[in-house]
């Protein structure tokens, strides 16, 4: 007897206050792109602003069907911050042709969605559009920075019994998104699978520092002075990988690299408030020569003591290579005898 094909898991994707970078990242899902990755899991888009053919009136009619409950939404994916200004009206972003603010549409559709997924840190926490110098009155779906609330409010739950699922990052790894949607479809993502900021633990229980290609330099506190150098980027160049949730350095991006691998310091983009660091993004603020942002769970006194010991034990090979853009002193080959 032929087995019945289960109905697809329907995803509706809307862009709020967004640069579109989260979609650009998602398109790079491996091995064959986002559409193929989702199709393999029997997940399909009801509509996506960059991938769907429908536009104009067709989209508005679809949204009305979703709002009325006539069309089921398994996952409502929101990319970008919710712009609630000016003065709480949401008129900074009107959904074209509808006369209604995007904030209104998101709130209405969220009531009918089985699950709601914030794609990227803007949708999760407000991020760049919510920076203090930006007059958009932007927020995330269920957070304003570190504070619970956002558009939907603290304590809000979807019809599927979960808070907003925050696939944070600027932009998030495409694997995080695909695996989150796949887990939701399979019924394998529950409330205790999310951390205190609503991020799926399968990636947020790691740090970007784990598996970093520069870890030998970090261990000996052999630091780079320029982004082209091989050394650790933490001491001088603003790297926050020891504080940043994410499995970026062993999941890797675009076939095999992470931000620090390519000389760009981790800016902790998966966390609320990353958009307003204490200092410049790619510089490490210090007090009395000690970095302000220390590794999570490490007291300052321990870090100072460990750094002094590590630097005194640094092999000359590591010390020299740290300030070069390529390996100039290879590891010594031990005799096999």
- CATH number of the CATH domain containing 89: 3.40.50.700
Residues near 318 by beta carbon (within 8 Å), at least 6 away in sequence: 216, 217, 220, 222
Domain tally, the chain: 2
Residue 226 shares a structural domain with residue 254: yes
What tens digit of pLDDT does each residue of 115-135 get?
Answer: 999 999 999 999 999 998 788
- 227 and 181 within one domain: no
Residue-level pLDDT at 84: 97
**What is the residue range of 36's domain?**
9-204
Q: Please, are residues 322 and 223 in contact by the beta-carbon 8 Å criterion?
A: yes
Q: What is the DSSP letter of 227?
A: T
The predicted structure's pLDDT at residue 149: 97
199 and 236 co-located in one domain? no
User: Does 160 share its domain with 179?
Assistant: yes
pLDDT of residue 106: 98
Give CA–CA dist 202/185, Å, rounded: 16
Which of 141, 115, 148, 105 minimizes the C-alpha distance to 126? Answer: 141
> In this structure, is residue 328 part of a structural domain?
no
330: in domain:
no
Residues in the chain, pLDDT under 50: none
pLDDT for residue 304: 72
Same domain, 195 and 240: no
User: What's the pLDDT tens digit per position in 316-335?
Assistant: 999 999 999 999 999 987 76
Q: What is the pLDDT of residue 336?
A: 62
């Amino acid at each position: 007897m032929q087995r019945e094909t289960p109905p697809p898991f329907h995803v509706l994707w809307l862009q709020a206050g967004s640069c579109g970078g989260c979609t650009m990242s998602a398109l790079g899902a491996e091995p064959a792109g986002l559409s193929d990755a989702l199709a393999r899991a029997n997940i399909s888009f009801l509509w996506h602003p960059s991938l769907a053919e429908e536009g104009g009136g067709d989209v508005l009619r679809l949204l009305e069907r979703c709002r009325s409950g006539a069309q089921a939404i398994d996952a409502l994916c929101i990319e970008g911050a919710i712009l609630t200004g000016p003065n709480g009206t949401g008129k900074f972003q009107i959904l074209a042709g509808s006369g209604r603010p995007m904030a209104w549409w998101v709130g209405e559709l969220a009531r009918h969605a089985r699950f709601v997924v914030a794609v990227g840190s803007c949708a999760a926490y407000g991020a760049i559009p919510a920076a203090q110098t930006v007059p958009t009155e932007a927020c995330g779906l269920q957070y304003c920075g570190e504070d619970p609330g956002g558009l939907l409010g603290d304590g809000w739950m979807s019809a599927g019994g979960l808070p907003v699922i925050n696939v944070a990052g600027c932009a998030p790894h495409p694997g995080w998104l695909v695996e989150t949607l796949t887990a939701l479809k399979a019924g394998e993502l529950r409330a205790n699978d999310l951390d205190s900021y609503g991020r799926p633990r399968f990636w947020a229980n790691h740090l970007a520092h784990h598996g970093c290609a520069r870890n030998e330099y970090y261990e000996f506190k052999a630091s780079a002075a320029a982004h082209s150098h091989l050394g650790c980027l933490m001491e001088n160049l603003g790297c926050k990988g020891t504080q940043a949730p994410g499995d970026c350095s062993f999941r890797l991006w675009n076939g095999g690299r992470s931000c620090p691998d390519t000389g760009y310091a981790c800016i902790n983009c998966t966390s609320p408030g990353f958009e307003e660091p204490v200092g410049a993004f790619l510089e490490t603020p210090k007090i009395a020569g000690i970095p302000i942002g220390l590794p999570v769970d490490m007291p300052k006194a321990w870090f100072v003591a460990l750094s002094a010991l590590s630097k005194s034990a640094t092999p000359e090979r590591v010390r020299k290579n740290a300030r070069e853009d390529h390996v100039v002193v290879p590891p010594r080959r031990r005799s096999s005898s």
